[in-house]
Each structure stands twice: as structure tokens, then as C-alpha cells.
Amino acid sequence: MADHFLSKTRVSPEDFVEAGGTPVLERFEALRTLLVDRAGPEVADLFAEPLISRGNDTAPPTVSWYTATAGDARPLSSLAPAERSRAETYLSDHLRPLRALTEQPENADLAFGALSTLGRDDVMMVGDRPMIVNWGLMPDCRGANVSTRPDHFAETLGRYLTLAPAGTRTSGAPMAGPVIPPPAAGVAAATPAVAAPVAASAPVQHRISRLAWVPLLILLLLAGGFLAWLLMPGSRLFHEAGPRAVTEEATLQAARDLNDSLRARRATLQSALDGAMCRADGMLVLPDGLTPEGLTPPALGVKPAQRATVAPDALLPSSPARVVVPDVSEPGSETDLLALITARTVLVLAGSGDGRGATGSGFVVGPGLIVTNQHVIEGALSDGGQILVTGGSLTEPQVATVIKSDGPLIQAGGDFALLRIADTGMTGFDVHVPQGSLKLSGVVAAGYPGDVLASDVNFAALKAGNLDAVPDLTVTEGIVNTEQQIGPQTHVLMHSAALSSGNSGGPLVDMCGRLVGVNTFVRAGRLQNRGFALTTADMMAFLQGTGAVPRVDSAPCAPVVQRAEAGARKAVAE
């Protein structure tokens, strides 16, 4: 039994399509064996494994769908146009062997049953492979209604596979499946034509006139011209086929590096703990003479200064609420790190044309310019999609347009999108492109994780139509564990600041208030998840030519903090 759950469908007993007197779904093993033997395992893997619950007097039957392929399941209709086109081409190529099976009397019922699905949106994208769910079923209790299958097939999987017309079948093939007959002369193509029966004793020979070849010749010429256009440099709007930009080997090496860094971190903490000393005034001093926060302790009996510079690689990061940074929106003033991050981070709401929605995070890089991940807004790239941006520094949600996007990550090596909104009053982050390593540097991740939004009353009010409601921003602290290159042009920071779904596209900020990464994905561990952020160097390469020109600061960070016992900080205006 496959172990990755995809979806669950409530059905009626009359929805089941039968083959040989048995529901096709109950013959999954026979179907898989047939497809593996006749078409190959990749074709067999297109069909999700069903688990049927027959229900009872009060509960209807259900079918749960599983796959052996790991990865997030997304409806095919929600994909960006380029990715959807690749998936549809894959489907067409790999479903083609089923045409031969539908023409074989001994296999036709089973093949036809597998090609019957409930609706148009029964193809999921799992990782980088399409997967068919809800097969072996017909909607509206039509599982036994053979006559309705051709039209229904044409609206569903018929988009990816053309079956042989009824009159050209191998003699004896059953007509129980979704056959797409040619339109009769003078009748609209949408009206199914009925093939005239052909007597077995009087085979008919068909002659093809020369004129019948003219449309094919024209199509070949058009295809040749289109292919020549595709081969011209700069004419493609999608990524070339070929090796993935982000490989499994690179991500595996990244995981090894992460484990090595965690072991080194554990050894460092243990060494610091073993050599730490608690002074008479209660202050803990580490073997390097600093406090765990990276501060120089004052002499015994001397009141510490209210402000102090901390070591950038301190054993424990400082609280963002006590870190003091320049406020570039008001020259000459200062603010705390938490306020600076809050003023520059936004919630991104992406809705597709079919009513599906997704949430993510983003941040300001210039007047009216927002950066997020491409996978956050990909569902809104289709016709009828819309993107909204909201945040504490915006007076109302803003409609966003896409200036540029790059993704998906696995194929393209990048996962960025640049959005434009009408409100230009928000100040962007300074960007830190380091000259050296950021390893062990303290960082803060900010965004709108979905598990927090689920219980946020402001988010509930926003969904209900209250445009004044703004969900609370979530911030988490951590350190950069290691830096890794996972593709030819793909670099990531692995860090310990907690992330979850919804943080995608949000900022990763150092203790000087500068952007150091774009949070993009999470690798789940046994005890703790680790966040991966695309580097600012990669982001700056993406922004070239877009008009977004954030200020770049490459100087090392020397954080300044208000000591905990110093009391509330006042803005400095001198």
C-alpha cells in the first residue's frame, strides 16, 4: 500500500465503473500489473492507489487516494502556465499506450474504467509528476451508464488522449468505454456521431484522397516554423528542458552539511557550558569573557551601560525587541529591530481563477515594490487570478501586479517574484550581501505562517471582508547554521529560526536590520525543522533590470542592544 495520502472523495455506490462485473477500483492490482507489463512503471504510476470505504446506512462510501511518490499535492489547474504545459505534455505522452489497450477485447473494460474520472480537476501534481485521482468513477450516479462516457471523457482525460473512433476498433472490442467518434458531416463537432455498424462478412476498404493529406501538410509546415522560432535565442518564455537546476545530490549534500554544523554547534555549546562561570552578581560569563548574548560584562559593582555593542556571532542571539538599528525612513533616528521588520513585511494573498487561494509572506525592497516567492503567487498567474498585499504599514489591502517571476525552484534554480502595488509609502529593507561567511550569525525570520493565521481573529475578519483587519506578524529567532550551493546559480542559508507553511517569501534579517535571505522552504527533521532561505546575492541577480534597486550594505554587522535592565528606550534625535 502506498503511504503518501493525496485526497479523499465521497461517492455514491452508483458512481463505480465496472469491468467484468467488478468495480474497476477493486481491480487496481490487475490494472497496475497490466500497465507495468504493457506500458511501463511510469505509466502505472500515473494512477493513484485507491482505498475504498463502503460506508453504511448513515455514511456514504468514500475513496481515499494514495501514492508512493513523496511531495506536496497540487491541482494541475493551479500550476503556472509553463509548469502546467510540461505536465500536460507528460500526461499525453504517458497515457498514449492506453489507446492500444482499449482496442484489445481482453483489456478494454479495465482500460476504459481507468480512463473514467469524476471531473476535470482530477489530475494532481505530486512533486514534479502528474497523478490521476478519482479514476474508475463517473459523476451523478452514471457508473453503469455507458452512453454518457464519451462526452464525459472528452471533457476530462480526453484533453490528453485521443481514442480510436468506434468504427476503427479491433473486431470484438467491447464498447463499454469512453469512445470519441468523429463528427458526422454537416453536424456540429460537439454533437457525438453514431458510427454505422459494419457487417463482419463485408469488410469495407477506405480510400484516402490526396486532398485529405493537405491539412496534415499544412500542420507539418506550421510545426516546422514554430520549432524554428523556438530555437531562436531569446524567443522562449519557459525554461529549456534538461537537467534540473537543483539536484537531489546537492540537496543531500546540504543536509549533510547541516548535520555537521549541528554537531559542531552542540560541541560549542557544551564547551561553553563546561567553562562558564556565574559571578557574585548573578551574571553568567563564558570562557571567552563575554556573556551568552555577546556583551562585555562590567566590573563587579559597576552599573552596565544602557547600550552596548554585541559580538555578531554571540552564543545566543539578542532579543529583536532590544536590538537598536537606524531608522532609514527617518534620518537621524533609531528604532528597535522588531519595529523595523514589522514596518517592511507584508502578507501576500494569491487567488486563482477557479477560486482557490494561497497565503504567503513578502517584504518591501523599494517604493511600491514587494518581493516574495514565485510558488506563493503561481496559482494567480492563470486567467482570472488576483494578488492582494496587506500589512501593518498599509492603510488598506493593495492589488498587486507581477513585474517578474522566476521558478519553480527545482527546474529554474530560483523562486522569486517581484510585485508592484500602488502605495509607495513603505520603506524597503537595506540588503546585506556579505563579503565573508554568515555562519553562526544571529537572524530573525518574519512572516505569516498558516498554522498561526488559522487562529488569528484579524485574519478571520479579513477573509470575511473587513479590509481594516491586519493579521499579527510572527517573528522567530535563530542562527545561520551553514551556507550551501544547491545548484549552479542557487545558494541558500540554512538557519534555525522556526518556519512553517506561509513563511514562504518572507524576510530573513540580520541583527543590524538588513535583509540577508528570502525564506523559501523547510526541511523536516526528527526533532526540529530547519529553514532554507535563498541568498540576497541570488535575489539581487533576479532584480537586475526591474527597476528595484535596494541599498546594498556589505559591512559586517556589529549589533547594538539595549540592556534588559536599562528600561524603556527613547528615540535618539541628536
Provide the grid cell at 445: 525570520
For the chain, 574 residues long, give each residue's pLDDT as a single digit of tens: 667 788 888 888 888 888 888 898 999 999 999 998 888 888 889 999 998 887 665 567 888 888 888 777 888 888 888 888 888 888 888 888 888 888 888 888 888 888 989 887 889 898 888 999 998 898 887 867 777 777 788 888 888 887 755 434 333 333 333 332 333 333 232 323 333 333 333 444 445 555 555 565 665 665 555 445 434 433 333 333 344 555 556 666 666 666 676 677 677 777 777 777 887 777 788 877 778 777 777 777 777 777 777 776 676 767 777 888 887 777 778 888 999 999 999 999 998 877 788 899 999 999 999 999 999 999 898 878 899 999 988 988 999 999 999 988 888 889 999 999 999 999 999 999 998 899 888 899 999 998 888 888 999 898 888 888 899 999 999 899 889 888 888 999 999 898 888 899 999 999 999 999 999 988 765 545 678 999 999 999 999 999 899 999 999 988 888 876 533 334 333 3
What CATH number does the domain located at 323-557 have?
2.40.10.120
Grid coordinates standing for 478? 535563530
Locate 113 and state its grid cell.
Answer: 474504467
d(CA 421, CA 305): 43
Which residue, 548, 376, 551, is CA-closest to 450?
376
Those residues whose C-beta lies under 8 Å from the C-beta of residue 531, and which sit 6 or more positions away, are 445, 478, 494, 495, 496, 497, 498, 499, 503, 508, 519, 521, 522
Encode 446-475: b = buried (16+ Cβ within 10 Å), e = exposed.
bbbbbebbeebeebeebeeeeeebbbebbb
- Report whether 371 contacts 504 (CB < 8 A): no
Cell of 47: 494512477
Whether the model clears a pTM of 0.85, i.e. scores above it, the answer is no
* Start and end residues for every CATH 2.40.10.120 domain found in the chain: 323-557
* Three-class DSSP labels, 317-354: CCCCCCEEEEECCCCCEEEEHHHHHHHHEEEEEEECCC
Look at strands 398-406 and 386-390 and give their pairing: antiparallel
Find how far residue 384's CA is from the centre of its chain: 19
CB 290 within 8 A of CB 297: yes
Compute how many other C-beta atoms are within 10 angstroms of the C-beta atom of residue 56: 8
What are phi and psi for residue 293, nearest 5 degrees? -80, -5
